Amino acid sequence: MTTISLGYFPRDWQRECHRKRRRFTVYALHRRAGKTELAIMELIDKAMRFDRDLGLFFYVAPYLKQAKAIAWARLKSRIEPLRRYGLVDVSEAELSVTFRKNGAVIRVYGADNPDAMRGVRLDGVVIDEVAQIRPEIWNDVIQPALSDRKGWALFIGTPQGVNLFSELFHRARGLPDWHSARYTVYDTAAIDADEVERLRRDMSEASFAREYLCDFSAAGDDQLVSLSDVEGAARRVVPAADVQLAPRIIGVDPARFGDDRSVIFRRQGLIAHEPEVLRGLDNMALAARVAAAIDGFRPDAVFVDAGNGAGVIDRLRQLGYAVIEVPFGGRALSAQYVNKRAEMWFGMADWLRGGGSIPDRTDLKQDLAAPVYAYDAQGRKQLESKDEIKKRGLASPDLGDALALTFAFPVRPKSEAERMGVKRTSSRDYDPFAKGR
């Protein structure tokens, strides 16, 4: 019998990862730890041992170019001894390796072309750099493909704030068929100790914590709201009695197109209530839902995004409701902000850090921690746009924008009689610059 070595000699942490994995496994690993090598060997091992028909295994990276440059080259290098003995076939056109003994196939994909992965039955998948993967790739494409064969999934990556990766990592700790673990630069011995100390010295504290200590709560240098801010607000409990005299405000962010969501958010003082998240509604239907929210909450002010909500605003005013249009790109009250959207988000960030309480929703926490900020040539603060956020593979922060709208202008609380008369009150009678918040 001929023994063929693939030249893989796992470190202690890699051996532990292979041994402890479950059906769904999430590993947070620092930069240059050797996570792609771990993933490739996991795929090769499971494909070689597969004892059913037509075994199919995927390696998925955020982009196909990235997958080809990193994983495909390493996969070919590892199975080269097998290829020399005629045990595998390699297809450059399909980026696949087929094992002749059992017909199992490993294929390399990019998440930038999800349609190429639809309609298959998967036995196992590795998803690399999960923080850059859109949630729908896992939820709508890969997870259904694993269901009928009860396939497995291995998620690996380095934390980058709130996203699919952080959601899966924390969820895994509470489910029986899931497992998650974190391996920092001090756990793997993958980088020389002197170099680790240099990195700690030369990098910002937050960057080092995120990239090498695998800290999901470490904010980027340009991140407006950190995960720790968001998690703190989600855990915070504010007694209702403490906000009885605070103004009630509704923010409405109508959907633009595609997978964007329409969101209605209610807030009173330090308490943000559960939002209404709506999909596929036209202007008339959305206006009806907003009208119902107004009747039920009796707010002191209703702020609606003017950019996408013109039809909703017109319909609500036609019905006699007092609403205030807020142009996201309009002029801010303070000269330190580029536009109104930036001013609202910075105001909301101060509220979150100053005692605000939000519902414990993953989609909301992801939205709030998504945008980064910068300064323009005049030194004014500007917030990353929705389109720029979506280009990074994250969802449009519709829930965040709706909550931010409740900080559009200072609001004074109305008397009970005024609240009862919120309908059929002209928006011209309301002074948004009156004292209050």
pLDDT at 260: 73
Q: Do 191 and 248 lie in a common domain?
A: no
Residue 429 clears pLDDT 80, i.e. is over it:
no
Q: Which of 160, 186, 212 is the last residue of a domain?
A: 212
Instruction: Indicate whether 435 belongs to any domain.
Output: no
Q: Do 335 and 371 lie in a common domain?
A: yes
Please report the beta strands in 185-274, taking only residues with DSSP state E, as ranges in sequence order.
Answer: 248-253, 262-268, 271-272
Instruction: Indicate whether 393 belongs to any domain.
Output: yes
Tokens of 394: 């994250």
| Residue 424, domain extent | 227-429
Residue 358 clears pLDDT 60, i.e. is over it:
yes
Q: What CATH number is associated with residue 131?
A: 3.40.50.300
Average pLDDT, the chain: 91
Instruction: Indicate whether 3 belongs to any domain.
Output: no
pLDDT at 141: 95
How would you class 434 by CB atoms within 10 Å of its CB: exposed for 0-12, middle for 13-18, buried for 19 or more?
Answer: middle
pLDDT at 420: 62
CA gyration radius, the chain: 26
Q: Which of 212, 246, 275 is the last residue of a domain?
A: 212
Q: Do 331 and 382 lie in a common domain?
A: yes
Q: Do 175 and 294 lie in a common domain?
A: no
Higher pLDDT, 308 or 91: 91
pLDDT class of 363 with cuts at 50, 70, 90: confident
pLDDT at 433: 54
Pinpoint the alpha helices (H) of 156-204.
164-172, 185-188, 193-202
Q: Do 275 and 201 lie in a common domain?
A: no
Q: Do 174 and 200 lie in a common domain?
A: yes
Average pLDDT on 263-282 reads 96
Structural contact between residues 421 and 429, judged by C-beta atoms closer than 8 angstroms:
no
Q: Which of 157, 181, 212 is the last residue of a domain?
A: 212
Q: Do 73 and 205 lie in a common domain?
A: yes
Q: What CATH number is associated with residue 355?
A: 3.30.420.240
Question: Measured between alpha carbons, how far is 184 from 158 in angstroms, rounded to an integer?
Answer: 10
Instruction: Indicate whether 5 belongs to any domain.
Output: no
Domain count, the chain: 2
Q: Do 159 and 237 lie in a common domain?
A: no
208-237, pLDDT tens digit by residue? 998 999 988 776 668 899 888 898 999 999
pLDDT at 425: 45
Average pLDDT on 131-142 reads 90
